[in-house]
A and B are shown apart, each in its own frame.
Chain A
Amino acid sequence: EADIYQTPRYLVIGTGKKITLECSQTMGHDKMYWYQQDPGMELHLIHYSYGVNSTEKGDLSSESTVSRIRTEHFPLTLESARPSHTSQYLCASSSGLDTGELFFGEGSRLTVL
């Protein structure tokens, strides 16, 4: 069973607030990813990291930022939340070896009022 955790699971917040979505994994994976998913829709990559101090933007443009100071931790931050940021955010990690399977967290559902 994968050991990747996201908090909070659900967050309802007002416009203009700063939020940080936490993601931690205990598998020692170098590669970590953030996907954004609207309800019933496909996943879009917004950020990824190949290791400590490495972060890249994904295919979908996002106003969020990420950091990777420790291998196990990959938080996502929105400096000023807007209703257009309402979505589910899924964190994943991969060892990059074998099949390259992604292990996903349970997701963070963000609602911005």
Chain B
Amino acid sequence: AQKITQTQPGMFVQEKEAVTLDCTYDTSDPSYGLFWYKQPSSGEMIFLIYQGSYDQQNATEGRYSLNFQKARKSANLVISASQLGDSAMYFCAMRASPGSARQLTFGSGTQLTVLP
């Protein structure tokens, strides 16, 4: 069984500062994928970044980077130069086996508030 743990229910960060959102996971699958999604108050889920378990380098997408530590089973999201529009709920998710039809398992989320 897969499990995603996000231990920070809420986080605050000053505008223009960097912030790290924690995510740890547990799986017995040898091959898996990790995702981060952003959910603004409007409710839609926005894909941010993806990391494959066999990817040699940490994924980056603009201001988002994923700090992947496979031995520790962690996949933290780093947002650099925070903006007011980054205030939202952030979910870490995992899917087993690239190409698998299985659905994503989501963590409980972290509510990020960016302060002016």
Binding site for B on A (CB under 8 A): 31, 33, 40-43, 45, 48, 50, 58, 88, 90, 92, 94, 96-107, 109
Query: Is B57 in the interface zone, CB < 8 Å from A?
Result: no
B residues near A33, Cβ cutoff 8 Å: 103
Given known contacts A31-B101, A42-B107, A42-B109, is B91 in contact with A109 (CB within 8 Å)? no
Q: What are some 12 contacts across the A-B interface (CB < 8 A)?
A: A40-B89, A42-B108, A42-B109, A58-B103, A92-B45, A96-B99, A100-B98, A101-B35, A102-B45, A102-B104, A104-B37, A106-B44
In the assembled complex, the Cα of A104 lies from the Cα of B99 at a distance in Å of 18
Interface flags for B71-93 (1: CB within 8 Å of A; 0: not) read: 00000000000000000010100
Interface flags for B34-67 (1: CB within 8 Å of A; 0: not) read: 0101000011111100101000000000000000
A106 lies within 8 A of B42 (CB): yes
B33 lies within 8 A of A100 (CB): yes
B91 lies within 8 A of A42 (CB): yes
* Chain A: minimal CB distance from B74 (Å): 18
